[in-house]
Amino acid sequence: MVVHGANDLRVDEVPDPADAQDTVIVAMQWGGICGSDVAYWKSGVSGTAVLKEPLVLGHEVSGVVETIGSGAAAEMARLGIEVGTPVTVHPATLVGDHSVAPELAARTNLWPEVRYFGSAAFQPHEQGGFSQFRAVRPDQLRVLPGGVSTKEAAVAEPFGVALHAVARAGDISGRSVLVNGSGPIGALAVAAAREAGASRVVAADLSDAALDIARRMGAHETVNPGSGELLPQDIDVAIEASGAPRALGGVFAAVRRGGVVVQVGNLPAGEVSAALGNVVTREIDYRGAYRFVDEISTALDLMAGRVDVSPLMTHEVSIDEAVRGFELAADRSVGSSKVMIQLA
């Protein structure tokens, strides 16, 4: 699935990946369409990344190991991974010879140069995983626990993003949490907040269909501001997952004095207008959350136990129906949340 420019998404035939000695070929089975994928298709831009050459999209993917390069055999044996093992993929590759502050050493998501599946942030672009085959390094593979299907495993990456966002708020056990925006990341943040011990999780969105999914993912309460419902007051922590600047004022007003707001929804790259006065007068901690470190592994463990991600997967298409899948993902009026692509 290759985006060639704004509004130019094609299913192309491309050469199979070469069997490099130090890589593994994964036969992809499932992919989940992310908002950044839709942004590349709609505008050729995602955040600050601008499309400059054809790009295979997709960073939420899973499949089975197809072949193992001779130079990767020892590492794969150490990891206990063999041909036929079901896996998902950590999409990040740290590159460049950079120095970072010691306190940032473990926060690999903040490395100055990270190549990410399906990203146009650098040139040449990092090709994604919406394809039948993809070459990856052994260290990027995450073996699926028993009971987690490859379809479910394609949701591990966005679940990792949500888990990282909730962790950025600190210890939330026994606290109240507002999740603003109940798209896929917001709905997964609801589940993450419940798993982190929040005593009350309120989900807000303008879509009743999205709020229904949030309830099924564990929200204690839901609010639709578009229907005149008011956001709760004196909330301990807010996870802002909508990325809508005009929503920020209401979110800050809902958080108690000395509370925390974590911004995980992608805000526009340019200047925005937002009501931020309460950040000062309430001494609110406003924190960013960017991708994840290795919470994708935690996501798999939770999916093998208590967290059911099936309410999130609302639609399914084949790789030949890629464009229709993207249309569904971009149209909230059809009740879409995570649109899944069968890549096999």
Q: What band does 268 get if pLDDT is binned at 50, 70 and 90?
A: confident
Q: Taking phi first (over 0 means left), then psi (-120 to 50 degrees means alpha), and beta for anything else, what does residue 228 get? A: left
**Half-sphere exposure at residue 329, Cβ-oriented, CA atoms within 13 angstroms:** 27
Take residue 169 and report the two structure tokens written for it: 């708020």
Q: What band does 48 get if pLDDT is binned at 50, 70 and 90?
A: confident
Q: What's the pLDDT tens digit per position in 96-137?
A: 999 999 999 999 999 999 999 999 999 999 999 999 999 999
**How many Å apart are CA 205 and CA 179, to the nearest integer?**
9
* Cα Rg of the chain, angstroms: 20
Task: Provide mean pLDDT across the span 41-63.
Answer: 95
Angle at 180 between CA 174 and CA 184, to 5 degrees: 100
Task: Provide mean pLDDT across the span 225-246.
Answer: 96
Helix (H, G, I), strand (E, B) or coil at 179: strand
Spell out the residues 6+ positions from residue 62 whose beta carbon is closer than 8 angstroms to its own. Answer: 28, 29, 30, 31, 86, 87, 88, 89, 144, 150, 151, 153, 154, 156
Work out the mean pLDDT of the chain and round it to a whole number. 96
Angle at 339 between CA 333 and CA 340, to 5 degrees: 160
Residue 236: the pLDDT is 98
DSSP secondary structure string, 202-231?
A: EEE-S-HHHHHHHHHTT-SEEE-GGGTPPP
- Cβ distance 315 to 307 under 8 Å? no
**How many Å apart are CA 91 and CA 181, to the nearest integer?**
24
Spell out the residues 6+ positions from residue 301 whose beta carbon is closer than 8 angstroms to its own. Answer: 145
pLDDT(19) > 80: no
**Could you tell me the domains of the chain?**
2-155+309-342 (3.90.180.10), 159-288 (3.40.50.720)
Q: What band does 270 get if pLDDT is binned at 50, 70 and 90?
A: confident
Q: Taking phi first (over 0 means left), then psi (-120 to 50 degrees means alpha), and beta for anything else, what does residue 329 get? A: alpha
- φ, ψ for residue 282, nearest 5 deg: -105, 0
Nearest Cα to Cα of residue 201 among 68, 97, 188, 55: 188
**Half-sphere exposure at residue 308, Cβ-oriented, CA atoms within 13 angstroms:** 8
Q: What's the pLDDT tens digit per position in 280-334?
A: 999 999 999 999 999 999 999 999 998 999 999 999 999 999 999 999 999 989 9
Q: Is 26 exposed, middle or buried (0-12, 13-18, 19+ CB in 10 A)?
A: buried
Q: What's the pLDDT tens digit per position in 63-92?
A: 999 999 999 999 999 999 999 999 999 999
Q: What band does 18 get if pLDDT is binned at 50, 70 and 90?
A: confident
**How many Å apart are CA 273 and CA 275, to the nearest integer?**
7
| Percent of the chain clearing pLDDT 90 (strictly above) | 94
Angle at 320 between CA 316 and CA 326, to 5 degrees: 55
pLDDT(269) > 90: no
Angle at 181 between CA 7 and CA 289, to 5 degrees: 85
